Amino acid sequence: MVVSRLGIVAAEQPLASQAGASILAEGGSAADAAIAASAVMGVMQPMMNGMGGDDFAIVYNARTGKVTGLNASGWAPERLTPSYLHSKGLQHIPDTGILSVTVPGAVMGWWELHQRFGKLPWKDLFQPAIYYASHGFPIPQWDSMYWPAYAGVFRADAVAASIYLPGGHAPKLGQVFRNPEYARALELVASQGERAFYEGSIAQAIVKTSRELGGVIEPEDLSDYKAEWVDPIETDYRGWKVFEIPPNSQGIAALEMLNIMAQFPLSTYGPVSTRRYHVEMQAQKLAYADLYRYLGDPRFVKVPVAGMISMSYARERAKLINMDQAKCSFQPGIPPGAGKVIAAMPHPGTDTSYLTAVDRDGNIVSFIQSLAGAFGSGVVVRGYGIILQNRATGFTLRPGSPDVLAPHKRPFHTIMPAFMEKGDLHIGFGVMRGGNQPLAHAQFVSDIADYKMNIQQALEAPRFNHFGRDCGYLIESRVPKSTLVGLSVLGYNLRVVGPYAEFVGGGQAVLHDSATGVNYGGSDPRKDGEAIPQPSPH
């Protein structure tokens, strides 16, 4: 771990972590540092995030002890309806293109976070990102592998290809990549605030781009949009309070998983044992069955949140687990307060950036952002280089589903920041990788609560991820052979992947000890990231 009495920022790219740490050194808060690091990540990992996407945050205020949530997920345009798509001959929402685009919430999320918790001037937070967008940065290792794998999404948009495929190709390791159009967008946001994006020249460019490509985004879709401060949902796991963002985020599944896992003595099983992984795999299947049945935008549908994360319901669900045999699918349960709905469809968007920051006062921001799919919709805002997300793929056209498409409704969201605390210990954490996130969060919490790992050990610990249907799981090769055999005997279909596989997600974490005032940071070796401490005043 990184250990310091000053602040720490942990992000997927060291230059983004460094940007946040430099903001802390200038007297900025954890919120300021998170915004600065987030803006840099949008420049350096355009396949994952940027101003054209959404974000969520959980904020811990060290002075008051209060934990607050921010939902900055965008909504569907007013005219993007099932009947409109059907009139175009479409039977499902397109995976890419302008009709997959929802209103971006990221900039509004930055603004709200700064308004409530920022200390430095707004414009100062964007100078590192503007520098890297205009002067360029060398493509790092992880990007150099990921970028060409998904570059095909730009083939349908020549404007996008001209920016993100310089010379007709994805940039290579060490190649300096510049994005002066995106730098201009950042400069406008820095000087004019969030209105530049939602009412000013960037908003006008988004609408113009949409109309040019046959989309339906109108000025009011942008100008009416607001992010929402929310109360995080929580559960108690072995004395740790664990917090997640409420629906429309899938964080509720992590809490339901933990409640089911709490019914078993995991600490006696061992951290890489067959019995431990079996319980977690079965808990995942139970929780995800409920997730896909009930999750939706609570402004449009009733989500039985209290029932889904009640301990009595967890005890009922846990009884369905047979310790001697894997069950490959479970029916959704009926938690207290549930109404009758048609099952939602899972939406496993995988392309996400998580970061977290703690300042010298112990304030923590747990922050996550995404374009949904790799390079989002593949559509770039003319004149500003902003890739628009394809988060409309979080909707379905199936009538009766809690996630059926509707005007100004927020979609099923995979991204989820997290926070946990016990006594004097407070941890901001997150693990990326689409639909794997609730599972990975539950594994991280268990590693700390059941097996007494520190945050770096918990990030590095072997993990698994569900794939396909039934009992298919990806699992890292560091898991002992005896455990792999034991799981196979129980009925799991395992695909063994590398020792630190991106398929199981990568995470970041910070910890503040309020008794000593000392901060700790960790970064997952599955990514290119680093936890970087605030430099000393010298």
Q: Would you name the residues annotated as active-site residues?
A: 352
- Cα–Cα distances in angstroms (integers) from residue 501 to residues 465, 489, 506, 525, in the given order: 10, 24, 9, 9
Closest CA to 529 of 30, 126, 37: 37
Strand partners, 355: 367
Distance of alpha carbon 344 from alpha carbon 476, whole angstroms: 30
Closest CA to 354 of 294, 313, 310, 415: 415
Distance of alpha carbon 11 from alpha carbon 365, whole angstroms: 12
- Cα–Cα distances in angstroms (integers) from residue 296 to residues 259, 261, 343, 356, 401, in the given order: 21, 24, 11, 26, 9
Cβ count within 10 A of residue 304: 22
Residue with token string 């010379």: 167
Reduce the secondary structure of 509-521 to three states and give it as a string.
Answer: EEEEECCCCEEEE
- Given a contact cutoff of 8 angstroms between Cβ atoms, the answer to whether 387 and 46 are in contact is yes
Distance of alpha carbon 382 from alpha carbon 199, whole angstroms: 16
Residues constituting the chain: 538
437-449 and 274-294 helices, crossing angle to 10°: 140
Distance of alpha carbon 417 from alpha carbon 415, whole angstroms: 7
Cβ count within 10 A of residue 176: 11
Distance of alpha carbon 162 from alpha carbon 410, whole angstroms: 31
